[in-house]
Structure 1
């Protein structure tokens, strides 16, 4: 029986895939942007072949430099994970522009550019992910788990190591 991933609100790929890649990240974190891009390129074939379930957990970690990421997360409608993924991809690509902005400008960008609105239900999801992060002792973003084996990016895992670890888990 395959492991069920807790708080898999933003889940990509087959829930029954043998390899579970979970990442705790925040949209305002530059290292998370780099990891997201690496995972986007590295994991796609595995997801397509039902070998990997990729779960993104936006961690609204209470840290000043991450607050704008938390603000953005509050506008995500978790009922449409594919759309959120595409928006995250764009926001990570343009992170240096909007993350230096102010909260009103960010809200305006989210409503005008993406047609988003604040989603009250997202607060409850955020609290569940925060509780899980505390339980799993996630201290920094991004923190990656591959079948429960923990890696801290950028120190312990890059794009090639991500592929190597997935291949090892599949073997």
Structure 2
């Protein structure tokens, strides 16, 4: 029986894949940037082979250092998950350039450099993800679930451990 992932708005790979990797992350978190890069490299072959469904859940956690990530998330159109993935990849890569500037400058960057606009629907989706995070007792980002087994990055899982966990499940 295939497990259906809750709030899989940003889902990559086959929904019927035997391994489900979910990550709660925030664009303003440096650990999330490192995890995103490692997961991007590690998971691609599994996704392409239909072995992994990778679900990204932007956790708009009300914490001061994460607020600019929440602001950026409000500009993502979740109906275009591939574009959102590419935007996340770029914003994580450039995180040091924008995560400590002011909110008006971030909005200007998102509209002028990326051609984005605020997406009111994303706020509703964000609230659903926050509710799920509360229900699942997610306290920090990134928090990774592999077939519902929870890991804290970087303490409990890194790129090598991510690959090992997936290989053990396949």
TM-score grouping bracket, smaller chain normalisation: over 0.9
SS at match of 2:157: coil
Partner residue of 1:133? 133
SS at match of 2:122: helix
2:40 aligned with 1:37: no
Q: Deviations over 1:31-90 (max 9, x none)?
A: 000000000000000000000000000000000000000000000000000000001000
**Alpha-carbon shift at residue 100 of structure 1 (Å):** 1.5
Partner residue of 1:157? 157
**Alpha-carbon shift at residue 121 of structure 1 (Å):** 0.3
2:44 aligned with 1:56: no
2:8 aligned with 1:14: no
Question: In structure 1, what is the Cα distance between the partners aligned to 2:162 and 2:35?
Answer: 10
Gaps of 5+ in 1: none
Q: Deviations over 1:144-168 (max 9, x none)?
A: 0000000000000000000000001
Partner residue of 1:98? 98
SS at match of 2:62: coil
Question: In structure 1, what is the Cα distance between the partners aligned to 2:99 and 2:38?
Answer: 20
State how many pairs are aligned: 170
Question: What TM-score does the superposition give when structure 1 sets the normalisation length?
Answer: 0.99
**Alpha-carbon shift at residue 169 of structure 1 (Å):** 1.2
Question: What TM-score does the superposition give when structure 2 sets the normalisation length?
Answer: 0.99
Partner residue of 2:47? 47
SS at match of 2:150: strand
Let me know the Cα RMSD of the aligned residues.
Answer: 0.4
Question: In structure 1, what is the Cα distance between the partners aligned to 2:169 and 2:132?
Answer: 23
